[in-house]
Structure 1
């Protein structure tokens, strides 16, 4: 009855093609009984105002690549899809800033900026599908975070719609903003639990004059050799954009090398890139093979790399369980995390692909297999993360599995602050309920 009333009410507010009834439950959850596709900020506000006044819950989604990340609810009353709310609002090439609507596909924006010799210095997975708003809401980033930072480093302003329909603005549209608390950081990574991101203003970088990919394969698989070489790189004058260690299983898949491999991205003027290539060739390590990839190989490598992650938008429930983990530790401890993941693949009947950023300590672990084996592997990875004083978050899993485990791990000491902010902004708990830490 609720779905019928919702459908009828929303059809009165929007055109017929903007409102759809849900016919079946999605295995990743985070859906809605009725889906609404707004095409303007005013329509986003209208949906939230209506839901708030009638006591309905709302789940938000861009393209759905992160649908399996967090959330303990199968369906809210309304699924607010921003997939049709896209486009560039303003681009000021001279100031190197751009303002875009939240539903804009990431690659679509990058292709546009490339015509001006500029880029957005983020590298999320599935860039042709992932939306800018989704990337910011989940604080998503890839290997190049080592050199370019995360969303919190490049977002300079946002327009947001609060759960009651109120539209607010944080930050500004210039790189040098006013002093004081950066409100943007409150919403980045909050998984849409505080407000719906409407527009985002980002600072840009020029496209690099030259790019290179250097792959170092450690065929001895000795962790001490990898640590020694990485320490030399970090202590040198080299400026790699990424310093990503891949497990043998991932290395086999991407470059056909059955070894731990270090993928080093270099971006600068050509003379600097060539110099850094030569330095890397001279460093060396026992049984380490250094290879400078051709331009074609470099493009192919990164194309496949960003599509190895789990994609919630195309997820199909299979016989085996697939789970994604994000583990954060101190930079060099990423070596231990990737090694442990490789060992667990042999200890349990699971398939594991793992890689970690040596310079920034973020690791991505994808585990597939039977539920009991996957659970055991997750427990081992979490145990190690805690021993290393880090954290482990489940970034993808079917809903029934997320309801069995603690996706975010133990509540942090500052959890009471999260609760206080949530209760102040969304007292009715209507927006992305139970999507964030501690079931917020």
Structure 2
């Protein structure tokens, strides 16, 4: 049996049957994978353990491959705004070092003090720093990966423009470690805003909040983040918008004034300006709650993630609410109207049977499919995974592509068997 110190290597209640490995460098990791592949062992890479609940239950689990010792900054060139780090460094530790040079990595994630860079990239962890700064994959300029047979490969490097043809590093972003284990990542960095603030604006109706977001999108303001937050347990119509902005003092004031004007023009009920450090903590809390929610007695908590065209976000939110209305469920949603991402915390009454609850999830999916959206269930009771396709694979075309890539890169299913794709040897 594993000691309490190794409890975080459990995946869906399953412990590794052979070993827990803690390599100190990429070469040791490569050797472990080579031996596991030769012996037919299944390996699950583990970073900070913040996203282990995502995905299907593993069909086989022999070796836990912990990456926490690969936690160094390999190089940092402040003048070029680039750095290369090992995959086991936490997002918070990297932020701290970069901040000393007035720089930051334009990637955020739930639980940054625990989440590792490799895990954030591999699991495409949710984050709200997209409105101005783009998708996390846009910050990646190079990568070193250990393939399932232990071979170390590199793509890109610590130069912002260095790729001709397809950027192979992108195969591993959001692949959940199915094609290889990320060992190092090179990033382009961003100057850190001198100051940041958050503007919290409440509206009496969803349409007003999304109208506000669209007007901000068309304005001269360039927010770092903008989300619409709904707690349908408290109100079926009201909505709060959170806008994160940054810059020098005069630029920050202009943005505050313009956003306030747009809020008033869209009939806001209240406007509050939140400065640092409270602003920083607010975004950490909101992001954590978006993916984990809050436990409620008498309910089963599940967390979902969807994506649609930005113009369809309000419609999608209403479809989700309509699907669960009068079912006894509790629902809260955070959405990114400029990016099309939707995160739901759903609390299903314990008195409902498993089949009834899964039926409600399928009802939401069917309504979202009508607008070419999908619903991934990221956190759900393990025993449901045998009868629920957590990935909504029939709707997401890239899942079929991943099946093909898995068969090519990992034909023996060494890495994460059963967790992301259905291919089995």
TM-score for both structures, normalised by structure 1: 0.86
Structure 1 position 241, deviation (Å): 1.7
Q: Which position in structure 2 is the counterpart of 1:183?
A: 168
Q: Which position in structure 2 is the counterpart of 1:62?
A: 47
Q: Which position in structure 1 is the counterpart of 2:403?
A: 419
The 3 A distance-change label for structure 1 pair 102 and 287 is: closer
* 8 Å Cα contact 2:377/2:391 also seen in 1: yes
Stretches of structure 2 lacking an aligned partner (at least 5 in a row) = none
Q: Which position in structure 2 is the counterpart of 1:336?
A: 315
Q: Which position in structure 2 is the counterpart of 1:166?
A: 151
Q: Within the alignment, does 1:295 sit opposite 2:285 as a pair?
A: no
Distance between the aligned counterparts of 2:157 and 2:45, measured in 1? 24
Alignment RMSD, CA only?
3.0
Q: Which position in structure 1 is the counterpart of 2:22?
A: 37
The 3 A distance-change label for structure 1 pair 229 and 92 is: same
Structure 1 position 87, deviation (Å): 1.7
* 8 Å Cα contact 1:140/1:151 also seen in 2: no
Structure 1 position 316, deviation (Å): 10
The 3 A distance-change label for structure 1 pair 259 and 293 is: farther
1:350 paired residue among 329, 332, 352: 329
Distance between the aligned counterparts of 1:32 and 1:247, measured in 2? 40
SS of the equivalent of 2:363 reads helix
Distance between the aligned counterparts of 2:78 and 2:9, measured in 1? 44
Structure 1 position 129, deviation (Å): 0.8
Q: Which position in structure 2 is the counterpart of 1:131?
A: 116
Structure 1 position 245, deviation (Å): 0.3
Distance between the aligned counterparts of 1:382 and 1:436, measured in 2? 19
SS of the equivalent of 1:84 reads coil
Map 1:33-432; keep pairs closer than 5 Å: 33=17, 34-73=19-58, 75-218=60-203, 220-221=204-205, 223-248=206-231, 259-283=238-262, 284=264, 285-310=266-291, 320-342=299-321, 346-369=325-348, 370=350, 371=354, 374-411=357-394, 412-413=396-397, 415-432=399-416
Name which of structure 1's ranges 344-353 and 241-250 shifts more when overlaid on structure 2. Answer: 344-353
The 3 A distance-change label for structure 1 pair 262 and 317 is: closer
Distance between the aligned counterparts of 1:23 and 1:155, measured in 2? 31
Name which of structure 1's ranges 385-394 and 121-130 shifts more when overlaid on structure 2. Answer: 385-394
The 3 A distance-change label for structure 1 pair 52 and 319 is: farther
* 8 Å Cα contact 1:350/1:368 also seen in 2: yes
Distance between the aligned counterparts of 2:200 and 2:6, measured in 1? 47
* 8 Å Cα contact 1:321/1:374 also seen in 2: no
Structure 1 position 336, deviation (Å): 2.9
Structure 1 position 74, deviation (Å): 6.0
SS of the equivalent of 1:49 reads helix
Distance between the aligned counterparts of 1:342 and 1:322, measured in 2? 16
The 3 A distance-change label for structure 1 pair 65 and 317 is: farther
Distance between the aligned counterparts of 2:227 and 2:415, measured in 1? 36
The 3 A distance-change label for structure 1 pair 50 and 318 is: farther
The 3 A distance-change label for structure 1 pair 319 and 195 is: farther
Structure 1 position 295, deviation (Å): 3.1
SS of the equivalent of 1:280 reads helix
Structure 1 position 309, deviation (Å): 3.9
Distance between the aligned counterparts of 2:88 and 2:268, measured in 1? 47
CA shift digits 1:336-367 (9 cap, x unpaired): 33344455665222232210001001011122
TM-score for both structures, normalised by structure 2: 0.89
CA shift digits 1:118-171 (9 cap, x unpaired): 101011111111110000001123122222122210111111111111111011
Distance between the aligned counterparts of 1:50 and 1:25, measured in 2? 20
CA shift digits 1:253-273 (9 cap, x unpaired): xxxxx9410001112222222
CA shift digits 1:317-348 (9 cap, x unpaired): 99743221110011132223334445566522
SS of the equivalent of 2:285 reads helix
Distance between the aligned counterparts of 1:151 and 1:287, measured in 2? 32
* 8 Å Cα contact 1:161/1:195 also seen in 2: yes
Distance between the aligned counterparts of 1:428 and 1:241, measured in 2? 43
Structure 1 position 31, deviation (Å): 4.4
The 3 A distance-change label for structure 1 pair 265 and 426 is: same
CA shift digits 1:83-123 (9 cap, x unpaired): 23212111111111111111111111101111111101011
SS of the equivalent of 2:415 reads coil
